[in-house]
Every structure is written in C-alpha cells, then in structure tokens.
C-alpha cells in the first residue's frame, strides 16, 4: 500500500474499506467527538500498513454529523492539499462488531508517527529534539517547524479550507518525510463548497481560538445554502473582505509563542496569557513591555533583532476588527495593519533561517 505516494494507493480516495481489513490497537486518546486508535490495515492480498482509526462516539450529540463532515473535508483536503494533511485512506461503517472494531463509523488515515508538536512541547530540550528530527541546526528548529506549519496552512487555505483547530496536538510529525503535517479536520470548514460551515457556529479550543471566534461574520450568507455558481462568486468576495484564513494564523501565532516561551507550555499559563493579551488590546508589544520577562526566557524570540516577537505580534493582532457598542467583536477594517496570512508569514524574516536550511528537511 502506497497511500502516501500521491496516488492514494490502489484504494482510491476516501473509499469504503472492509472492516475485516482493520484492527484497532492502542488508544491515541479520545477527544470530545470521537476515539482514536493506532491500528493496522491488512488487505486480502496480504498488504499491511500502520493506520489511525477514528470512531464516532455515539453519545455525543451532533458527533455523527461532524464525522460525516470530517469525511468530506478529508476528501477535499487530500485532493487539493495532499501534502499538508495526513493521507486519508477511507472509511468503514461497522454494523455489527468485528473483533475490536465496535459498531459505528470509522475513518482511516495513514499513521504518520508517534510525535505531535505537543510531544515536543513537553520536552525540556525542545529545540534539540526538534532539530534532530527535522535535520537542521538547533537555532533553525523552531523557524523550520513554523515554516512547515505555514506551508500546510497555505495549501489548505488556497483550497478554501480553514482548519479552525490548529494546536500542537493536531500537528503531527511525519517520520518518513521528516516534516510536520496537519491532522484532525473535524472542525475544518470548506468555504468553496460550504462543507462543515454554518455561520454562527463555533467549535473551538479557547486556548488557541482567535478573539473574533468566527471565520466569517455571523451575518454573512450561509455558503452551504447557495448554488455552486453563486458560491464561486461569493466565496472569493467574502475571502477578500474578511480573510477567514486568518482564523488559523492566529492559532499558529499562539503555537509560536509556546515554542518560543517555555513558561507558556501549560494550559493554565496559556489561559492567563490570553486574558492578559486581551487586556492589552491584542498588542503583543504592550504585553511584552508589561510582562518584564527576563531575557534568558526570550532568547528565541529575541534573536535576529526580535524577529520572533515581530512575527508573533503580527499573527496575534486583530484580524480587521473593532469592538462594536455591545462589546462584541465584529469584522470591520479599522485601518490598523491586519493579521498576517500564511503567505505573509512565509515571507517574514523569522522564517528566513529556515528557508536557508530548507533542502535538508524537504528531501
Ligand atoms: P480528536 O478529534 O480526538 O482530537 P485527532 O484526529 O486529533 O482526534 O487524533 C487524536 C490524536 O491521535 C492526535 O492528537 C495524534 O496524537 C494522533 N493521530 C491522529 N492522526 C494521526 C496520524 N495520521 N498519524 C499519527 N498520529 C495521529
Ligand atoms: Mg485533535
């Protein structure tokens, strides 16, 4: 099976798999919408590969629908942005339990490896561990990881997909390609097709979610309700006006802060940081001035004339936003510089070190 080779192997894309081919093994954790196992896909002709199996958890209201959307989004993303996401192999609907495969809808991906970015964030020697795996010098490790994340985002965004759940646990290290890829498209919305997008609906991790909370203003037309022809006009218009992709680049900015500042690697400190940043009007320079951090903690962001700080500040600033008179965040252009897109971030000096080192990991 060569699902990662670009042609999705002989199983096509997002197709139905035989339950007998699949055996779930150790648990990879269970989020609010399902359970994940590492497992094996073994076909009738004896081919075998490590896979990830994710099952609908029937008790969670709405989970079923979300998994179906997750299936469609994975098909769209793999077609349009294959390198950015873990290869999606297909699904199987289990009517009556087969071995450890319990009843329900299972989605199947190629298993990329044991490490997500959350794993590296737990290590005291984060930069060293990252550098060794990415095949770069230590000072290039964080810029390289961020560069790869932005490349993935750029690919998803140009396919019209906003991930909406960018965080360390959803960024996996592909051991074979020695690079990071995005996983968990359960919350992702495709604005080209309207798949998994409902105005006013949020599915979010508060630690990584931008202050505006929505990809588009809630009063924007529901893309899923429009005909295909209207959507081809509407989506680019809404995209230009509101930069829905900047939902994800805010989350990537939080990831950069966690990579750069060791004390931000716990959920509770991240929560405190988010509150403090909001009180500074989402101005990272102001937060930095108030925080009085000792320079031994900020070396990574300070390097190269504070390039890391500058990139983070440009990712964490408001999209194009002011508070309206009810205090809620809306999408108006205030004339302040807007938040960076993935393409904008890739041009930033902080990632230049990584650009120099690129061939080693791209091989
Ligand atoms: P959930 O909706 O429960 O968050 P995810 O799709 O994020 O489900 O998967 C849960 C965990 O399983 C991830 O955080 C990661 O550790 C692991 N995982 C998911 N997909 C893969 C993959 N393709 N390769 C390796 N590990 C994966
Ligand atoms: Mg996840």
Which residue, among 234, 260, 175, 165, has the nearest Cα to 204 in the 3D structure?
165
φ, ψ for residue 333 (rounded to 5)? Answer: -80, 120
Q: Does the C-beta of 34 come closer than 6 Å to ligand 1?
A: yes
The continuous run of DSSP H or E covering 241 comes out as helix 228-242
CA distances for 70 relative to 185, 189, 332, angstroms? 6, 9, 31
Ligand 1 centroid, distance to 36 Cα (angstroms): 7
- What is 288-327 written as a DSSP string? HHHHT--GGGSHHHHHHHHHHHHHHHHHHS-SS-EE-TTS
From the list 45, 83, 165, 184, the catalytic residue is: 165
Q: Which domains does the chain have, with CATH numbers?
A: 3-110 (3.30.200.20), 117-362 (1.10.510.10)
Q: Does the C-beta of 111 come closer than 6 Å to ligand 1?
A: yes
Ligand 2 centroid, distance to 34 Cα (angstroms): 10
| Bridge pairing between strands 15-16 and 22-31 | unpaired
Ligand nearest to the CA of 87: 1
Closest atom of ligand 1 to CA, residue 110: 23
Nearest CA to ligand 1 atom 17: 28
The continuous run of DSSP H or E covering 273 comes out as helix 267-279
The predicted structure's pLDDT at residue 332:
52
CB 296 within 8 A of CB 289: no
How confident is the prediction along the chain (363 residues), in pLDDT tens digits per residue?
333 333 344 445 678 888 889 999 998 876 665 688 999 999 877 889 999 999 865 444 555 666 678 888 999 999 999 899 999 999 888 888 877 788 888 999 999 999 999 999 999 999 999 999 999 999 999 999 999 999 999 999 999 999 999 999 999 999 999 999 999 998 999 999 988 888 877 767 899 999 988 898 888 888 888 888 999 999 999 998 889 999 999 999 999 999 999 999 999 999 999 999 999 989 999 999 999 999 999 999 999 999 999 999 999 998 865 445 544 455 555 556 789 999 999 999 999 866 665 554 444
Nearest CA to ligand 1 atom 11: 28
Q: Does the C-beta of 183 come closer than 6 Å to ligand 1?
A: yes
The predicted structure's pLDDT at residue 15:
83
Ligand nearest to the CA of 173: 1
Nearest CA to ligand 1 atom 14: 169
Q: Does the C-beta of 187 come closer than 6 Å to ligand 1?
A: no
Query: What is the three-class DSSP state of 212?
Result: coil
ipTM surpasses 0.90:
yes
Give the pair of three-digit tokens for residue 115: 């490490």
Q: Does the C-beta of 116 come closer than 6 Å to ligand 1?
A: yes
Pocket test for ligand 1, best of 184, 185, 255 (most atoms within 8 A of CB): 184
Enumerate residues with CB within 5 Å of ligand 2 (an ion). 170, 184
Ligand 1 centroid, distance to 161 Cα (angstroms): 19
Q: Taking the CA of residue 230 as centre, how many other CA atoms within 13 Å lie in the half-sphere pointing to its CB?
A: 8
Tell me which residue has tokens 């904008």.
344
Angle value at C-alpha 255, between 253 and 257, nearest 5 degrees:
70
Tell me which residue has tokens 């791209």.
362
The predicted structure's pLDDT at residue 320:
66
φ, ψ for residue 331 (rounded to 5)? Answer: -105, 80
Closest atom of ligand 1 to CA, residue 35: 3
The predicted structure's pLDDT at residue 316:
96
The predicted structure's pLDDT at residue 8:
41
- Measured between alpha carbons, how far is 307 from 349 in angstroms, rounded to an integer? 6
Q: Does the C-beta of 31 come closer than 6 Å to ligand 1?
A: yes
The predicted structure's pLDDT at residue 13:
64
CB 5 within 8 A of CB 176: no
Tell me which residue has tokens 């909370």.
213
Ligand 1 centroid, distance to 184 Cα (angstroms): 6
Q: Does the C-beta of 35 come closer than 6 Å to ligand 1?
A: no
325 has catalytic annotation: no
Query: What is the three-class DSSP state of 191?
Result: coil
């Amino acid at each position: 099976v060569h699902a990662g080779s670009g042609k999705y192997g002989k199983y096509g894309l997002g197709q139905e798999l035989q339950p007998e081919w699949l055996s779930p093994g150790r648990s990879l954790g269970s989020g609010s919408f399902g359970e994940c196992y590492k497992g094996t896909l073994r076909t009738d002709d004896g081919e075998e590969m490590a896979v990830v199996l994710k099952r609908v958890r029937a008790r969670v209201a709405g989970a079923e629908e979300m998994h179906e959307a997750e299936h469609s989004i994975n098909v769209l993303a793999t077609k349009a942005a294959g390198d950015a996401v873990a290869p999606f192999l297909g699904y199987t609907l289990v009517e009556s339990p087969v071995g450890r495969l319990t009843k329900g809808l299972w989605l199947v991906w190629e298993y990329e490896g044991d490490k997500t970015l959350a794993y590296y964030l737990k290590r005291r020697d984060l930069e060293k561990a990252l550098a060794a795996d990415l095949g770069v010098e230590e000072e290039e490790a964080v810029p390289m990881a961020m560069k790869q994340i932005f490349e993935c985002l750029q690919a998803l965004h140009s396919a019209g997909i906003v991930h909406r759940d960018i965080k360390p646990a959803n960024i996996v290290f592909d051991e074979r390609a020695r690079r990071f890829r995005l996983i968990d498209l359960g919350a992702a919305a495709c604005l080209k097709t309207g798949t998994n997008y409902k105005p006013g609906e949020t599915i979010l991790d508060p630690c990584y979610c931008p202050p505006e909370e929505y990809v588009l203003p809630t009063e924007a037309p529901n893309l899923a309700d429009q005909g295909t022809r209207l959507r081809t006009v509407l989506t680019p218009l809404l995209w230009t006006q509101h930069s829905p992709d900047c939902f994800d680049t805010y989350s990537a900015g939080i990831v950069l802060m966690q990579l750069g500042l060791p004390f931000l690697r716990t959920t509770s400190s991240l929560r405190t940081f988010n509150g403090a940043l909001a009180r500074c009007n989402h101005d990272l320079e102001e937060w930095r001035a108030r925080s009085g951090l000792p320079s031994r903690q900020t070396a990574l962001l300070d390097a190269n004339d504070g390039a890391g700080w500058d990139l983070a500040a440009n990712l964490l600033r408001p999209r194009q936003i002011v508070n309206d008179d009810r205090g809620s965040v809306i999408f108006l252009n205030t004339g302040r510089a807007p938040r960076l897109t993935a393409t904008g971030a890739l041009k930033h000096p902080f990632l230049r070190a990584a650009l120099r080192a690129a061939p080693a990991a791209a091989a």
